[in-house]
Amino acid sequence: MKYSKIVLIHNSFSGQQSKRLSKEALLNLFSKEWQDRIIYRSTEKSDTYLTYVELIKKAQPELVIAAGGDGTLNPVAKACSELNMLMGIIPFGSGNGLARYLGFSMNAALAVKELMMSSEVEIDTATVNDAFFVCACGIGFDGLIAHKFASNKKRGFLSYIKEGIIPLFTYSNANYIITFDGKELKRKAFLVCVANINQYGNDAFIAPDANASDEQLNIVIVRSFSLLNGLFAFRRLFNKTIYQWNAIEHYKTNRVEINCDTKQCYHFDGEPACHERTFIIQTGGNKLRILRATK
């Protein structure tokens, strides 16, 4: 047994209701040896990353496990990266982008088994206007759907799709100035995604070649397109061919500034944020020590 003390932070309301587990059911997925070392804590609405900083400092564990979706993982990951604490994941969210990127099963029992046999890797973290993220930041239509999804009580992939269909017919593209590495791009775009990992979640690969350990962010620009063109291209998200779509531009950088002619919705790790016109997005902060499934 590698860890003498483990903190388990559990969002029991994360993801689809049919897949949620009680405290007892979750703990019973672990071996007796692991159970004896776990300090359990359920998330609360008032929690921030500082809540978890204090929890970790007080408990002094060797491993912190977050059980939830990418939104649950975000403040835990921020606390762990700040304290150089090893982190693990059990996916219970709607998309589970980071867990999928790290190779974990979407079945909780299998994911726990994989976690108990996993190996440590180090990945980059990033910020958008000083807000921390690990997975991706999306501006424009991306951000709009994140806002709508946050107010929808139904979770899961189909809810994402339903929230996106009606706005797709009425959404107005915006004018962006995207500046990085001495380049300035002026584009009318549907969305701009800046990704640290390769997918949104649900194996929808917005940046198929992204590597979370290369100290680079992937800028993916989706320019204006016809509705019919977009519907035909949607499948490309799921077969890792999105870069072959003629509406796509993609670049790598460690810092990008994005300015828009109108205030835009945006999100970081799926969490909706207030409307802004200027976004400064960069990597180069604290690394995150995290467990990856060993296949």
Looking at the fold, whether 172 and 102 belong to one and the same domain comes out as no
What are the helix (H) ranges across 102-225?
Answer: 108-116, 141-150, 157-170
Residue at 55: amino acid letter = L
pLDDT reported for residue 285: 86
Host H or E run for residue 231? helix 227-233
pLDDT reported for residue 35: 96
For residue 23, tell me if it sits in a domain: yes
Looking at the fold, whether 23 and 167 belong to one and the same domain comes out as no
CATH number at residue 88: 3.40.50.10330
User: In sequence order, what are the residues at sequence separation of 6 or more whose Cβ sits closer than 8 angstroms to the Cβ of residue 292?
Assistant: 102, 103, 118, 119, 120, 121
Q: Phi and psi of 119, rounded to 5°?
A: -125, 155
Angle, in degrees to the nearest 10, between helices 49-59 and 70-83: 50
Looking at the fold, whether 179 and 271 belong to one and the same domain comes out as yes
pLDDT reported for residue 184: 98
Looking at the fold, whether 98 and 160 belong to one and the same domain comes out as no
CATH number at residue 248: 2.60.200.40
pLDDT reported for residue 18: 58
- Residue 227 CB neighbours (<10 A): 9
Which tens digit of pLDDT belongs to each residue from 240-266? Answer: 999 999 999 999 999 999 999 999 999
Which residue, of 117, 149, 164, is where some domain finishes?
117
Range of 203's domain? 128-283
* Pairing mode, strands 38-42 and 6-10: parallel
Distance CA 135, CA 217 (A): 10
Looking at the fold, whether 17 and 107 belong to one and the same domain comes out as yes
For residue 84, tell me if it sits in a domain: yes
Q: What are the DSSP calls for 80-123, one per residue?
A: HHHHT--EEEEE-SSS-HHHHHTT--SSHHHHHHHHHT-EEEEE
Taking only Cα atoms into account, the Rg of the chain, rounded to an integer number of angstroms, comes to: 19
Looking at the fold, whether 217 and 136 belong to one and the same domain comes out as yes
Please name which of 74, 80, 2 lies closest in space to residue 43, comparing C-alpha atoms.
74
For residue 270, tell me if it sits in a domain: yes
The answer to whether residues 126 and 285 touch, using CB atoms and an 8 Å cutoff, is: yes
For residue 122, tell me if it sits in a domain: no
Looking at the fold, whether 109 and 151 belong to one and the same domain comes out as no
For residue 184, tell me if it sits in a domain: yes
The answer to whether residues 204 and 136 touch, using CB atoms and an 8 Å cutoff, is: no
The terminus-to-terminus CA distance of the chain in angstroms comes to 19
Question: What does the angle CA 47 – CA 149 – CA 95 come to, to the nearest 5 degrees?
Answer: 75
For residue 291, tell me if it sits in a domain: no
For residue 50, tell me if it sits in a domain: yes
Which residue, of 117, 138, 172, is where some domain finishes?
117
Distance CA 68, CA 91 (A): 5
Looking at the fold, whether 104 and 23 belong to one and the same domain comes out as yes
Distance CA 61, CA 48 (A): 19
CA atoms within 13 A on the CB side of 40: 15
Looking at the fold, whether 73 and 21 belong to one and the same domain comes out as yes
For residue 293, tell me if it sits in a domain: no
Q: Phi and psi of 73, rounded to 5°?
A: -65, -30
pLDDT reported for residue 114: 97
Please name which of 193, 213, 217, 212 lies closest in space to residue 204, comparing C-alpha atoms.
193
Low-confidence ranges of the chain (pLDDT < 70): 1, 15-18, 149-167, 295
The answer to whether residues 33 and 1 touch, using CB atoms and an 8 Å cutoff, is: yes
Please name which of 25, 18, 272 lies closest in space to residue 155, comparing C-alpha atoms.
18
Token match 């500082």: residue? 50
Looking at the fold, whether 231 and 176 belong to one and the same domain comes out as yes
Looking at the fold, whether 149 and 19 belong to one and the same domain comes out as no
Number of independent structural domains in the chain: 2
Distance CA 30, CA 34 (A): 6
Which tens digit of pLDDT belongs to each residue from 82-120? Answer: 999 999 999 998 889 999 999 999 999 999 999 999 999
Looking at the fold, whether 80 and 169 belong to one and the same domain comes out as no
